[in-house]
Amino acid sequence: MTETKPRYDWTREEIRTLYELPLDALIAKSLAVKSQNWADGAVQKSQLLSIKTGGCAENCGYCSQSAHFDTGLKAEKLLPLEEVVTAARAAKENGADRFCMGAAWRSLKDRDVPKVAAMIEAVKAEGLETCVTLGMLEDGQAETLKAAGLDYYNHNLDTSPEYYDQVVTTRVYDDRLETLGRARTAGLKLCCGGILGMGESREDRVGLIHELAKLSPHPESVPVNMLVPIEGTPLAGSAKVSVIEMARAIAVCRIVFPESWVRLSAGREEMSEEGQALCLLAGANSIFVGDRLLTTDNPDIDEDAGLMGQLGFEAAALEDMPKGGARKTLLDAR
Ligand code: SAM
Ligand code: DTB
Ligand code: SF4
């Protein structure tokens, strides 16, 4: 029988075995898990806003915002509160139910905490779930953000521990795990995933999923990004990953993280409708909406409406989270 509850004892071998199944068998398993935990056709929508763009001290080899590379991106100051609120209202009109604010910081400075807390409070007051991604956290900061109304902290592991130093050298894997621990201790939900297409091997993709699987509880959101190549960054020339490989990774995530949102994240702009459909049919149940991610483009709202319409998919209600019998409520409402 297919296991549909979270497990914390996955081995790398088990994950590798899943990853290498014939695609039909893999997707069949993924959809068996999905249908036990989630309403059919429900897709959660998050919208991003870069609240502090560029000039980042880290050297993540994929990123447009690192000060180490000449990507032509202009660094900007922290946005004023009113601009953030305007963008959050627009996101809500776009059908987003979660608003994710990203800052190009290596780590959050105490002096910025009140400003970000005010943004969180204001976005929450608009009736949206809140998410921030602000780099590494110091003790106590996550608690202040939580008190302001923060739901999720995004902090990606990005790849396997073995490949990590090929991606970034200004921090180590354990730094990431430490911040994830701080966010958890403060009672925040986690959004944590990675990127495919940075020149990593399939074994690195398996390794990433295994590291995520060891987090207990699992991250409530698992973003699977396809590298958006940024001219001027060291990883821009990496071998492209196929959409089929993305679908494979998504299906494995759906099986390993049965109760988490699995998000088809960056890279949709480069995919055909059919490619995106494959990833959604492989088990993803969340996307970013709006025509911008942080610094790069995303399909516009009309294109997404067209795709969702063809698939017969609809916006998930927040209460579609599997815990608490909410799925049943949603199905009963039909
Ligand atoms: N500075 C914060 C951090 O690194 O945690 C937050 C912002 S950072 C842009 C958030 C995540 O976006 C990264 O961890 C990475 O997984 C993803 N990302 C950044 N640039 C990307 C790109 N060019 N293609 C795909 N994903 C990307
Ligand atoms: C995540 O995993 N992907 C998002 C969000 N979390 C912060 C960011 C994608 C960024 C893509 C490149 C850009 O727009 O700069
Ligand atoms: Fe900075 Fe985040 Fe970009 Fe890395 S991914 S360079 S930490 S903004």
- Ligand with the closest atom to the CA of 227: 1
Query: In the annotation, is 63 catalytic?
Result: yes
State which residues of the chain have pLDDT below 50.
1, 323-334
Cα(243)–Cα(252) distance, integer angstroms: 14
Residue 317 within any structural domain of the chain: no
State pLDDT tens for residues 73-114.
Answer: 999 999 999 999 999 999 999 899 999 999 999 999 999 999
Q: Which atom of ligand 2 is nearest to the CA of 288?
A: 4
Paired residues of 264 in beta bridges: 224, 287
Residue 322 within any structural domain of the chain: no
Residue 320 within any structural domain of the chain: no
| Domains of the chain: total | 1
Report, in this order, helix, strand and coil percent for the chain, each rounded to 5: 40, 15, 45
pLDDT of 2: 61
Residue 210 within any structural domain of the chain: yes
Element (H, E) at 273: helix 273-281
CATH of the domain at 279: 3.20.20.70
State pLDDT tens for residues 120-147.
Answer: 999 999 999 999 999 999 999 999 999 9
Residue 59 within any structural domain of the chain: yes
155 Cα: distance to centroid of ligand 3 (angstroms): 10
> Which residues span the domain enclosing 148?
12-310
Q: Which residue has the tokens 């949102």?
A: 261
Is 296's C-beta closer than 6 angstroms to any atom of ligand 2?
yes
Q: Which atom of ligand 1 is nearest to the CA of 266?
A: 25
Annotated active-site residue in 106, 171, 254, 263: 263
Q: b/e map of 306-330 (b: 16 or more CB within 10 Å)?
A: ebbeeeebebbeeebbbeeebbeeb
Query: In the annotation, is 253 catalytic?
Result: no
Query: In the annotation, is 191 catalytic?
Result: yes
Annotated active-site residue in 98, 106, 131, 248: 131
From residue 275, give the alpha-carbon distance in Å to each of 42, 69, 242, 308: 18, 31, 9, 13
pLDDT of 316: 72
332 Cα: distance to centroid of ligand 2 (angstroms): 35
Residue 324 within any structural domain of the chain: no
Residue 325 within any structural domain of the chain: no
- Ligand with the closest atom to the CA of 66: 3
